[in-house]
């Protein structure tokens, strides 16, 4: 048994108009009024952060950005700094999502810089890692994940200290947006392995406190089995977070 509080996070990616974002957050707010056992987080596109923040109001919904640069300001056209995200009301930031890694060539080194910058600014990083289908089929899953985990948290590993609020997200690339979910057993096996890696690189107390979310085709009908596993502490949801009709039942953990 652990006292890790479940978290359901919605990654809206590059979707929704301002109006769409506003109506989605309103519907989520209404749909979860009576629930207080799960942390709920939404990650809208940058341009919708302020609007969504306003509508979140004094509810407990957490606001998250989908990416950031590690520098605090400067000549980085098209980028956004941790301080800007804080100012916009974000408490969390997703780092190293597989789409950032594969489409925008983000490396573990860059994610490490970002994770440090986030923590310095008081933002909580949600660090994503995950293997591709080829890597899984070649039997390299654990090796790849270990490299990504220690590389993306390199500076923390060097200091043997990781803030306990840090969140990890295991997102097998082959399960993202494909409708193909890792089975609860496959996900649990990886989550348990990641917790062992955290113990090795930090300490058992840290490993027990860090929340590890699963991501990849999470839906209302599979969340219950996933969350029933001891090392799965919640979900990072893409497609199904774009509608309250699917996101709210996920927040209710399929119950």
Residue of 24, 63, 59, 67 lying closest to 43 (CA atoms): 63
Cα distance between residue 135 and residue 79, in whole Å: 31
Could you say which of 44, 82, 130, 216 contacts ligand PGA (CB under 6 A)? 216
Which residue's CB comes closest to ligand PGA? 238
Q: How far is the CB of 237 from ligand PGA (least distance, A)?
A: 5
Taking the C-alpha atoms of residue 112 and residue 163, their distance in angstroms, rounded to an integer, is: 14
Q: Could you say whether residue 171 binds ligand PGA (CB under 6 A)?
A: yes
Q: Which is nearer to ligand PGA, 56 or 169 (CB)?
A: 169
CB of 45 or CB of 199, closer to ligand PGA: 45
Other C-beta atoms within 10 Å of 78: how many?
A: 5
CB of 232 to ligand PGA, least distance (A): 15
Among 122, 177, 205, 230, binds ligand PGA (CB under 6 A): 177
Whole-angstrom Cα distance, residue 193 to residue 170? 11
Taking a C-beta distance cutoff of 8 angstroms, is the pair 149, 197 a contact? yes
Query: Which residue carries 């009301």 as its tokens?
Result: 89
Of the candidates 96, 125, 215, 249, which one interacts with ligand PGA according to CB under 6 A? 215
| Binding pattern for the stretch 219-238 against ligand PGA, x by CB under 6 A and - elsewhere | -----------------xxx
For ligand PGA, the closer of residues 64 and 115 by Cβ is 64
Tokens standing for 138?
A: 């070649």
Tokens found for residue 110 = 């860059």
Nearest to 164 by CA among 202, 110, 200, 216: 202
Q: 44 vs 239, which CB is nearer to ligand PGA?
A: 239
Q: Which of 92, 97, 154, 191 is catalytic?
A: 97
Task: List the one residue out of 91, 47, 96 whose CA is nearest residue 70.
Answer: 96
Instruction: Assess whether 97 carries a catalytic annotation.
Output: yes
**Residue 92 known to be catalytic:** no
- Which residues participate in catalysis according to the annotation? 97, 171
**Interface residue list for ligand PGA (CB under 6 A):** 11, 171, 176-177, 215-218, 236-240
């Amino acid at each position: 048994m652990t006292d890790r509080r479940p978290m359901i996070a919605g990654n809206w990616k590059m979707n929704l108009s301002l109006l769409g974002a506003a109506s989605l957050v309103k519907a989520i707010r209404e749909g979860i009024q009576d629930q207080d056992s799960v942390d709920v987080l939404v990650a809208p596109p940058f341009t919708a952060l302020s609007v969504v923040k306003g509508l979140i109001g004094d509810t407990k919904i957490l606001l998250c950005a989908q990416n950031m640069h590690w520098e605090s300001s400067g000549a980085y056209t098209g980028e956004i700094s941790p301080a800007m995200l804080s100012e916009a009301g974000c408490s969390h930031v997703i780092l190293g999502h597989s789409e950032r890694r594969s489409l925008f060539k983000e490396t573990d080194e860059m994610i490490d810089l970002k994770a440090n910058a986030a923590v310095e600014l008081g933002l909580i990083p949600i660090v994503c890692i995950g293997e591709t289908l080829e890597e899984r089929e070649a039997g390299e899953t654990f090796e790849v994940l270990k490299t990504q985990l220690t590389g993306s948290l390199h500076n923390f590993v060097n200091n043997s200290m990781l803030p306990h609020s840090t969140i990890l997200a295991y997102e097998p690339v082959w399960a993202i947006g494909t409708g193909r979910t890792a089975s609860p057993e496959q996900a649990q096996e990886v989550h348990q392995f990641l917790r062992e890696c955290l113990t090795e690189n930090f300490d058992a107390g840290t490993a027990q406190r860090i929340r590890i979310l699963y991501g990849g085709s999470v839906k209302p009908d599979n969340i219950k089995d996933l969350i029933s596993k001891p090392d799965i502490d919640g979900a990072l949801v893409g497609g199904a977070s774009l509608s309250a009709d699917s996101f709210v039942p996920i927040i209710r953990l399929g119950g």
